[in-house]
Amino acid sequence: MIPPFDVHILSSSAYFFYLCRKKLNDNQLFIAKTQYGLEELLAAELKAIGARDIQLLTRAVSFRGGLREMYAANYTCRTALHILMPVLDFKFRDKEQFFDLIKKFEWADYFGPDNTMSIDTVMSDSFFTNSHYVSLLCKDAVADYFRDKFKRRPSVDLENPNVKIHLHIRGHECSVSFDSSGGSLHRRGYRVKQGLAPMSEVLAAGMVMLSGWDKKCNLYDPMCGSATILTEAAMIAGNIPAGYYRKSFGFEKWKDFDEDLWQEVKNAADENISEYECAIVGADNSVQAIKAAEDNLKSARLHKDIHLTVCDFREFRFPSEKAMIITNPPYGERIKPEDIIRLYKDIGDTLKNHCHGYQAWIISSHFDALKFIGLKPGKKITLFNGPLECKFVKFDIFEGSLKQKKENEHGHLR
């Protein structure tokens, strides 16, 4: 049991009572959420837009900045899922105190009774056992605050709220943030069709960035599905901002929304959009997948820049010049065990026989099947595709064996 404490006494503790700023200044704390394994990429993206005091967290990166940095993070950061603005941290003993502390917060500094709101809660090792219950409790506390102050209250809108409130509860500690993104930033806005197992746009972009692709050599995905990896690669190659196709962001409904600054941030990013010279090519043995990919590319206005074909990867013609392969083969959820082993053996044979000089990156949650590719991994990175823990593995494909290559290199040095 946590002992009682006087909530009117401020503490220097990082998680104790009010960390509230009534007006957003240029040193506001933000939390950028991301996927596991992409934290360093996101930190680099935030540094590039001028964010300060950047700190790596687990599945998140904290930073400081103002409206400009918040707008730019939402619009340009390819590996961000949400940009949260913390406004209140506190400790609580029980649900009654939790309710009282939420109710005492000056919500009117951020939105009014005529606005709409939604609340989502994430918990870990929490005093509470049901996140939906916590969201309802918070909603009731906010509603009581507005009723007491204005005799009316905001309504709940789960689809398109003016303000999205995010709660994170760990034990008896609660952090309250406003979600400046609105919906998750992985929803870029270009996807109109999905395949059987669609990959998150954030994960796809992260994979392309982790691969070290130089945007000059050709890029191939011979099992492209609905073309998420290819689309994100084309956006990276052409410097198209991550939020370029997105219709709206949460902060556009906030009290302090600065339309002129927002346009300035967008225009500055859009000025960097450019043509690229490399070929970006995809294939899949599913006619339905390629049709979905074509529809998505048309939505992104990239259908003239990315070539697609219906073709089994075993029959795909890889050009002789060096190139990069990034692909997401089946993991085995819908394939018999003996067939998944055969599939990965065939992937390895195709790489060894037809992709000399290439670098191939393959993501899979089927760790045993990866061994049957029959090539020595140059690098392994742990990522998550949805709930599935995966390895993102690099293979350098040499002509002849790796041992022969090293012997030849050693001979040249003598």
The secondary structure of the chain, three-state, reads: CCCCCCCCCCCCCCCCCCCCCCCCCCCEEEEEECCCCCHHHHHHHHHHCCCEEEEEECCEEEEEECHHHHHHHHHHCCCCCEEEEEEEEEECCCHHHHHHHHHHCCHHHCCCCCCEEEEEEEEECCCCCCHHHHHHHHHHHHHHHHHHHHCCCCEECCCCCCEEEEEEEECCEEEEEEECCCCCCCCCCCCCCCCCCCCCHHHHHHHHHHHCCCCCCEEEECCCCCCHHHHHHHHHHCCCCCCCCCCCCHHHHCCCCCHHHHHHHHHHHHCCCCCCCCCEEEEECCHHHHHHHHHHHHHCCCCCCEEEEECCHHHCCCCCCCEEEEECCCCCCCCCHHHHHHHHHHHHHHHHHHCCCCEEEEEECCHHHHHCCCCCCCEEEEEEECCEEEEEEEEECCCCCHHHHHHHHHHHHC
When pLDDT is cut at 50, 70 and 90, the band that residue 400 belongs to is low
Question: What is the sign of the dihedral through the CA atoms of 82, 86, 88 and 94?
Answer: positive
Q: Which of 122-126, 175-179, 388-392 has the lowest mean pLDDT?
A: 122-126
Q: Supply the pLDDT for residue 399.
A: 73
Q: How confident is the prediction for the chain on average, in pLDDT?
A: 89
Topology (CATH) of 28-179: VC0802-like (3.30.2130)
Q: Supply the pLDDT for residue 327.
A: 97
Q: Supply the pLDDT for residue 4.
A: 34
Across 223-228, average pLDDT: 94
Yes or no: say if 213 and 324 are a contact pair by the CB < 8 Å rule.
Answer: yes
Across 72-97, average pLDDT: 97
Q: Supply the pLDDT for residue 3.
A: 35
Yes or no: say if 238 and 58 are a contact pair by the CB < 8 Å rule.
Answer: no
The yes-or-no verdict on residue 396 having pLDDT over 80 is yes
* Rounded CA separation 172/127 (Å): 6
Longest dimension (CA), the chain: 87
Q: Supply the pLDDT for residue 260.
A: 97
Rg (CA), the chain: 25
Q: What is the pLDDT of residues 256-284, one digit of tens each?
A: 899 999 999 999 999 999 999 999 999 99
Distance of CA 191 to the CA centre of its chain: 15
Distance of CA 121 to CAs 85, 118, 132, 137, Å? 15, 10, 7, 11
* Range(s) of the chain covered by CATH 3.30.2130.30: 28-179
Q: Which of 52-66, 81-95, 208-222, 390-404 has the lowest mean pLDDT?
A: 390-404
When pLDDT is cut at 50, 70 and 90, the band that residue 11 belongs to is very low
Yes or no: say if 391 and 364 are a contact pair by the CB < 8 Å rule.
Answer: yes
* Rounded CA separation 293/198 (Å): 11
Q: What is the pLDDT of residues 301-333, one digit of tens each?
A: 999 999 999 999 999 999 989 999 999 998 866
When pLDDT is cut at 50, 70 and 90, the band that residue 12 belongs to is very low
When pLDDT is cut at 50, 70 and 90, the band that residue 194 belongs to is confident
Question: What is the sign of the dihedral through the CA atoms of 28, 29, 32 and 33?
Answer: negative
The yes-or-no verdict on residue 373 having pLDDT over 90 is yes
Across 117-128, average pLDDT: 92
Q: In CATH, which superfamily holds the domain spanning 201-239+250-405?
A: Vaccinia Virus protein VP39 (3.40.50.150)
Q: Supply the pLDDT for residue 331.
A: 80
Q: Supply the pLDDT for residue 99.
A: 97
The tokens for 316 are 């795909």
Q: What is the pTM of this model?
A: 0.88
* Range(s) of the chain covered by CATH 3.40.50.150: 201-239+250-405
* Rounded CA separation 82/175 (Å): 15
Across 210-239, average pLDDT: 96
* Rounded CA separation 163/177 (Å): 10
What residues are paired with 30 via a beta bridge?
Answer: 63
Across 370-386, average pLDDT: 96
When pLDDT is cut at 50, 70 and 90, the band that residue 168 belongs to is very high
Q: Supply the pLDDT for residue 186.
A: 96
How open is the CA angle 70-74-78, to the nearest 5 degrees? 135
Q: Supply the pLDDT for residue 337.
A: 59
